[in-house]
Amino acid sequence: MSLEMTCPHCQKPYTLKEFTVGNYSSKIPYPQCDCEKREMARLEAAEKERERLRRIAALNLPAIFEPFRLKDLTCEHAADAQIYVEGFTPRKSKGLFIYGPNGNGKTTLGAVICKELAYRGRRVLFTTMTKTLNAMQEGGGYNQAASATKVLKDLTLYDFVLFDDYGRENYTPLRLQNVFQIVDQLYTHRTVFAVTVNPECMGRLQNYPELEAIKDRMAQVLMSWAFTGPSLRRTNK
Protein backbone atom coordinates (compact mmCIF):
# COMPACT_ATOMS: atom_id res chain seq x y z
CA MET A 1 0.00 0.00 0.00
CA SER A 2 1.34 3.37 -0.94
CA LEU A 3 1.56 5.74 1.99
CA GLU A 4 1.30 8.74 -0.31
CA MET A 5 -2.36 9.36 0.32
CA THR A 6 -4.30 12.54 -0.21
CA CYS A 7 -7.75 13.55 1.00
CA PRO A 8 -10.29 12.63 -1.71
CA HIS A 9 -12.25 15.79 -0.87
CA CYS A 10 -9.66 18.58 -0.59
CA GLN A 11 -6.57 16.74 -1.97
CA LYS A 12 -4.48 17.75 1.01
CA PRO A 13 -1.80 15.06 1.54
CA TYR A 14 -2.14 12.82 4.55
CA THR A 15 0.64 12.93 7.15
CA LEU A 16 2.15 9.78 8.57
CA LYS A 17 1.28 9.32 12.19
CA GLU A 18 3.18 6.81 14.23
CA PHE A 19 1.14 4.44 16.36
CA THR A 20 2.80 2.22 18.94
CA VAL A 21 1.25 -0.79 20.58
CA GLY A 22 3.68 -2.60 22.92
CA ASN A 23 6.92 -2.86 20.96
CA TYR A 24 5.21 -2.82 17.63
CA SER A 25 4.89 0.51 15.91
CA SER A 26 3.55 1.46 12.57
CA LYS A 27 3.07 4.60 10.49
CA ILE A 28 -0.42 5.18 9.36
CA PRO A 29 -1.53 7.89 6.92
CA TYR A 30 -3.64 10.40 8.74
CA PRO A 31 -5.67 13.27 7.27
CA GLN A 32 -4.69 16.84 8.18
CA CYS A 33 -8.20 18.07 7.39
CA ASP A 34 -11.64 17.32 8.83
CA CYS A 35 -13.25 16.61 5.44
CA GLU A 36 -14.14 13.06 6.45
CA LYS A 37 -15.97 14.20 9.56
CA ARG A 38 -17.69 16.97 7.63
CA GLU A 39 -18.75 14.53 4.91
CA MET A 40 -20.26 12.20 7.54
CA ALA A 41 -22.12 15.11 9.11
CA ARG A 42 -23.35 16.20 5.67
CA LEU A 43 -24.67 12.70 4.87
CA GLU A 44 -26.36 12.47 8.26
CA ALA A 45 -27.98 15.88 7.81
CA ALA A 46 -29.14 14.91 4.30
CA GLU A 47 -30.70 11.69 5.64
CA LYS A 48 -32.41 13.63 8.44
CA GLU A 49 -33.76 16.11 5.90
CA ARG A 50 -35.06 13.27 3.70
CA GLU A 51 -36.78 11.76 6.75
CA ARG A 52 -38.30 15.15 7.65
CA LEU A 53 -39.60 15.57 4.08
CA ARG A 54 -40.98 12.00 4.14
CA ARG A 55 -42.93 12.76 7.31
CA ILE A 56 -44.27 16.00 5.91
CA ALA A 57 -45.26 14.34 2.63
CA ALA A 58 -46.97 11.59 4.64
CA LEU A 59 -49.06 14.29 6.30
CA ASN A 60 -50.75 14.88 2.96
CA LEU A 61 -51.98 18.29 4.13
CA PRO A 62 -54.55 20.07 1.96
CA ALA A 63 -52.78 22.47 -0.44
CA ILE A 64 -54.46 25.53 1.07
CA PHE A 65 -52.21 25.23 4.15
CA GLU A 66 -49.02 24.85 2.10
CA PRO A 67 -47.85 28.49 2.41
CA PHE A 68 -48.26 28.73 6.19
CA ARG A 69 -45.38 28.22 8.62
CA LEU A 70 -45.73 28.63 12.37
CA LYS A 71 -42.83 31.08 12.62
CA ASP A 72 -44.52 33.61 10.32
CA LEU A 73 -48.09 33.03 11.48
CA THR A 74 -49.98 35.80 13.23
CA CYS A 75 -53.09 34.62 14.98
CA GLU A 76 -54.57 34.59 18.47
CA HIS A 77 -52.73 31.44 19.50
CA ALA A 78 -49.51 31.55 17.44
CA ALA A 79 -47.37 32.11 20.55
CA ASP A 80 -49.21 29.35 22.45
CA ALA A 81 -48.63 27.05 19.48
CA GLN A 82 -44.89 27.80 19.47
CA ILE A 83 -44.66 26.88 23.16
CA TYR A 84 -46.84 23.84 22.53
CA VAL A 85 -44.72 22.35 19.74
CA GLU A 86 -41.47 23.07 21.57
CA GLY A 87 -42.67 21.26 24.67
CA PHE A 88 -44.57 18.53 22.84
CA THR A 89 -44.16 15.07 24.35
CA PRO A 90 -46.00 12.09 22.83
CA ARG A 91 -48.42 10.39 25.26
CA LYS A 92 -47.82 13.18 27.80
CA SER A 93 -48.82 16.50 26.28
CA LYS A 94 -52.40 17.64 26.50
CA GLY A 95 -54.34 17.73 23.26
CA LEU A 96 -56.12 20.79 21.86
CA PHE A 97 -59.73 21.88 21.57
CA ILE A 98 -59.55 24.74 19.07
CA TYR A 99 -62.93 26.42 18.81
CA GLY A 100 -64.59 29.62 17.65
CA PRO A 101 -66.54 31.18 14.78
CA ASN A 102 -65.97 30.43 11.12
CA GLY A 103 -62.92 31.39 9.17
CA ASN A 104 -60.63 32.85 11.82
CA GLY A 105 -57.79 30.43 11.29
CA LYS A 106 -58.48 27.41 13.53
CA THR A 107 -57.73 24.79 10.90
CA THR A 108 -54.73 26.75 9.62
CA LEU A 109 -53.24 26.83 13.11
CA GLY A 110 -53.98 23.11 13.52
CA ALA A 111 -52.31 22.40 10.17
CA VAL A 112 -49.16 24.37 11.01
CA ILE A 113 -48.92 22.60 14.36
CA CYS A 114 -49.11 19.30 12.46
CA LYS A 115 -46.37 20.48 10.08
CA GLU A 116 -44.18 21.72 12.90
CA LEU A 117 -44.48 18.43 14.79
CA ALA A 118 -43.73 16.49 11.59
CA TYR A 119 -40.63 18.69 11.03
CA ARG A 120 -39.53 17.62 14.50
CA GLY A 121 -39.83 13.98 13.56
CA ARG A 122 -43.23 13.22 15.09
CA ARG A 123 -45.76 10.91 13.44
CA VAL A 124 -48.73 13.10 12.70
CA LEU A 125 -52.16 12.56 11.15
CA PHE A 126 -54.35 15.39 9.85
CA THR A 127 -57.85 14.02 9.29
CA THR A 128 -61.57 14.46 9.99
CA MET A 129 -64.07 12.36 11.95
CA THR A 130 -65.97 11.87 8.69
CA LYS A 131 -62.93 10.24 7.07
CA THR A 132 -62.17 8.15 10.13
CA LEU A 133 -65.78 6.99 10.56
CA ASN A 134 -65.99 6.14 6.85
CA ALA A 135 -62.77 4.15 7.07
CA MET A 136 -64.19 2.18 10.02
CA GLN A 137 -67.17 1.14 7.87
CA GLU A 138 -65.10 0.22 4.82
CA GLY A 139 -65.88 -3.12 3.24
CA GLY A 140 -69.37 -3.29 4.75
CA GLY A 141 -70.87 -6.42 6.29
CA TYR A 142 -68.46 -8.71 8.06
CA ASN A 143 -65.44 -6.75 6.84
CA GLN A 144 -66.61 -3.70 8.73
CA ALA A 145 -65.51 -5.08 12.07
CA ALA A 146 -62.03 -5.75 10.72
CA SER A 147 -61.83 -2.26 9.20
CA ALA A 148 -62.92 -0.71 12.47
CA THR A 149 -60.36 -2.65 14.46
CA LYS A 150 -57.58 -1.67 12.06
CA VAL A 151 -58.53 2.02 12.00
CA LEU A 152 -58.63 2.14 15.81
CA LYS A 153 -55.30 0.37 16.13
CA ASP A 154 -53.62 2.56 13.50
CA LEU A 155 -54.71 5.73 15.28
CA THR A 156 -52.58 4.85 18.28
CA LEU A 157 -49.46 4.64 16.09
CA TYR A 158 -49.43 8.42 15.78
CA ASP A 159 -47.90 10.94 18.16
CA PHE A 160 -50.52 13.54 17.29
CA VAL A 161 -53.87 13.27 15.49
CA LEU A 162 -55.89 16.30 14.41
CA PHE A 163 -59.59 15.96 13.58
CA ASP A 164 -60.57 19.01 11.59
CA ASP A 165 -64.12 20.30 12.00
CA TYR A 166 -65.32 17.88 14.67
CA GLY A 167 -69.13 17.76 14.58
CA ARG A 168 -69.38 18.12 10.80
CA GLU A 169 -69.85 14.33 10.41
CA ASN A 170 -73.24 12.65 10.05
CA TYR A 171 -74.36 10.24 12.69
CA THR A 172 -76.20 6.95 12.59
CA PRO A 173 -76.44 4.69 15.65
CA LEU A 174 -73.38 2.77 14.40
CA ARG A 175 -71.40 5.96 13.77
CA LEU A 176 -72.25 7.25 17.26
CA GLN A 177 -70.85 4.03 18.64
CA ASN A 178 -67.78 4.38 16.42
CA VAL A 179 -67.02 7.98 17.30
CA PHE A 180 -67.06 7.01 20.96
CA GLN A 181 -64.65 4.18 20.16
CA ILE A 182 -62.32 6.57 18.33
CA VAL A 183 -62.13 9.03 21.19
CA ASP A 184 -61.99 6.33 23.84
CA GLN A 185 -59.19 4.57 21.96
CA LEU A 186 -57.11 7.77 21.83
CA TYR A 187 -57.97 8.54 25.45
CA THR A 188 -57.03 5.14 26.83
CA HIS A 189 -53.83 4.89 24.76
CA ARG A 190 -52.84 8.44 25.65
CA THR A 191 -52.51 9.33 22.00
CA VAL A 192 -52.41 13.11 21.88
CA PHE A 193 -55.19 14.47 19.69
CA ALA A 194 -56.77 17.77 18.77
CA VAL A 195 -60.02 18.97 17.25
CA THR A 196 -61.11 22.16 15.56
CA VAL A 197 -64.76 23.03 16.12
CA ASN A 198 -66.93 25.92 15.00
CA PRO A 199 -70.28 26.90 16.57
CA GLU A 200 -72.29 25.21 13.84
CA CYS A 201 -70.53 21.91 14.54
CA MET A 202 -70.83 22.45 18.29
CA GLY A 203 -74.60 22.88 17.76
CA ARG A 204 -74.80 19.66 15.77
CA LEU A 205 -72.96 17.78 18.50
CA GLN A 206 -75.46 18.98 21.08
CA ASN A 207 -78.18 17.00 19.30
CA TYR A 208 -76.62 13.76 20.47
CA PRO A 209 -76.78 13.08 24.20
CA GLU A 210 -74.74 9.93 23.44
CA LEU A 211 -71.73 12.18 22.88
CA GLU A 212 -71.63 13.34 26.52
CA ALA A 213 -69.12 10.63 27.40
CA ILE A 214 -66.85 11.99 24.67
CA LYS A 215 -67.26 15.55 25.90
CA ASP A 216 -66.23 14.40 29.34
CA ARG A 217 -63.09 12.71 28.08
CA MET A 218 -62.16 15.68 25.90
CA ALA A 219 -62.62 18.04 28.84
CA GLN A 220 -60.03 16.04 30.72
CA VAL A 221 -57.34 15.61 28.06
CA LEU A 222 -57.70 18.64 25.78
CA MET A 223 -56.87 22.24 26.52
CA SER A 224 -59.14 24.83 25.02
CA TRP A 225 -57.94 27.57 22.71
CA ALA A 226 -60.70 29.99 21.77
CA PHE A 227 -60.59 31.96 18.55
CA THR A 228 -62.70 35.10 18.73
CA GLY A 229 -61.61 37.07 15.65
CA PRO A 230 -63.63 37.79 12.48
CA SER A 231 -63.51 35.53 9.45
CA LEU A 232 -60.25 35.95 7.54
CA ARG A 233 -61.98 34.58 4.46
CA ARG A 234 -63.76 37.92 4.12
CA THR A 235 -61.09 40.30 5.44
CA ASN A 236 -58.15 38.68 3.61
CA LYS A 237 -59.11 39.21 0.01
Binding residues for Mg ion (CB under 5 A): 107
In angstroms, what CA-CA distances link 156 with 150, 167, 175?
A: 10, 21, 19
Q: Which of 74, 89, 170, 228 binds ligand ATP (CB under 6 A)?
A: 74
Contact (CB, 8 A) for 231 and 198: no
Please state, as a whole number, how many other Cβ atoms lie within 10 Å of the Cβ of residue 65.
18
As to burial, measured by CB atoms within 10 angstroms (0-12 exposed, 13-18 middle, 19+ buried), residue 89 is exposed
What is the smallest separation between the CB atom of 33 and Zn ion, expressed in angstroms?
A: 3
Asked if 97 is part of the footprint of ligand ATP (rule: CB under 6 A), the reply reads: no
Q: What track of x and - describes contact with Zn ion for positions 34 through 53 (by CB under 5 A)? A: -x------------------
Q: Are strands 124-127 and 160-163 parallel, antiparallel or unpaired?
A: parallel
Residue 25 interacting partner from Zn ion, ligand ATP, Mg ion, none (CB closer than 5 to 8 Å by kind): none
Asked if 103 is part of the footprint of ligand ATP (rule: CB under 6 A), the reply reads: yes
Measured CA to CA, the distance from residue 15 to residue 122 in angstroms comes to 45
Residue 33 interacting partner from ligand ATP, Zn ion, Mg ion, none (CB closer than 5 to 8 Å by kind): Zn ion
Asked if 107 is part of the footprint of ligand ATP (rule: CB under 6 A), the reply reads: yes
Q: Which of 5, 7, 78, 222 binds Zn ion (CB under 5 A)?
A: 7
Asked if 181 is part of the footprint of ligand ATP (rule: CB under 6 A), the reply reads: no
Q: Which stretch binds Zn ion (CB under 5 A): 6-14, 109-117, 129-137, 224-232?
A: 6-14
Residue 123 contacts by C-beta under 8 Å, 6 or more apart in sequence? Answer: 55, 157, 158, 159, 160
Mapping DSSP onto H, E and C, the string for 29-65 reads: EECCCCHHHHHHHHHHHHHHHHHHHHHHHHHCCCHHH
Residue 181 interacting partner from Mg ion, Zn ion, ligand ATP, none (CB closer than 5 to 8 Å by kind): none
Asked if 73 is part of the footprint of ligand ATP (rule: CB under 6 A), the reply reads: yes
User: What letter does residue 170 receive in the DSSP assignment?
Assistant: -
Residues of the shown chain interacting with Zn ion in the complex, contacts defined by CB under 5 A: 7, 9-10, 33, 35
